[in-house]
Amino acid sequence: MLLIDTSIWIEVLRDKSRVKATKLKKIIAVRDYYLPIFTKMELLQGCKNEVEWVKMSSYLASQNYLMPNYDSIWENSARLYFELRRKGITIRSNIDCAISILAIENHLTLYHCDRDFEAISKHTVLKQKKLCLSD
């Protein structure tokens, strides 16, 4: 099973030609996948107007989400950020740490287009695949 990061969805949504959407559909057609619940927040906060918000919200309502263990996600994410920073690695988004913890705890491969996940995977057991659809 896959966990698909927000960075993939942003690429798809920005592509007016729909080529990237077609590529993603081929990848996920034969696999079970989830979105981190954080993706819902990240995509909605990027909406430009009410019309876009309603459309995005409607689309996101049909997706399957992976929910974190709320008892541990925040501390584990903060610990990951802290440990990486001690090694001289600064992750640009603490949400990326939470998404990484979500993938690790659920033994899922994280598909993304974000260099921070590559850095995280070098120092953890995060299984990840960089999948920039423009490649």
Model confidence at 15: pLDDT above 90: no
Identify the bridge partners of residue 111 per DSSP, sorted by sequence position: 4, 129
Domain ranges in the chain are: 2-130
Closest CA to 108 of 65, 75, 53: 65
Per-residue pLDDT at 18: 87
User: Is the distance from CB of 133 to CB of 114 less than 8 angstroms?
Assistant: no
Confidence of residue 29 (pLDDT cuts 50, 70, 90): confident
More confident residue, 6 or 16: 6
H or E element in which residue 117 lies:
helix 115-122
Q: Strands 2-4 and 109-112: what pairing? A: parallel
Q: 90-120, pLDDT tens digit by residue?
A: 999 999 999 999 999 999 999 999 999 999 9
CATH superfamily of 2-130: 5'-nuclease (3.40.50.1010)
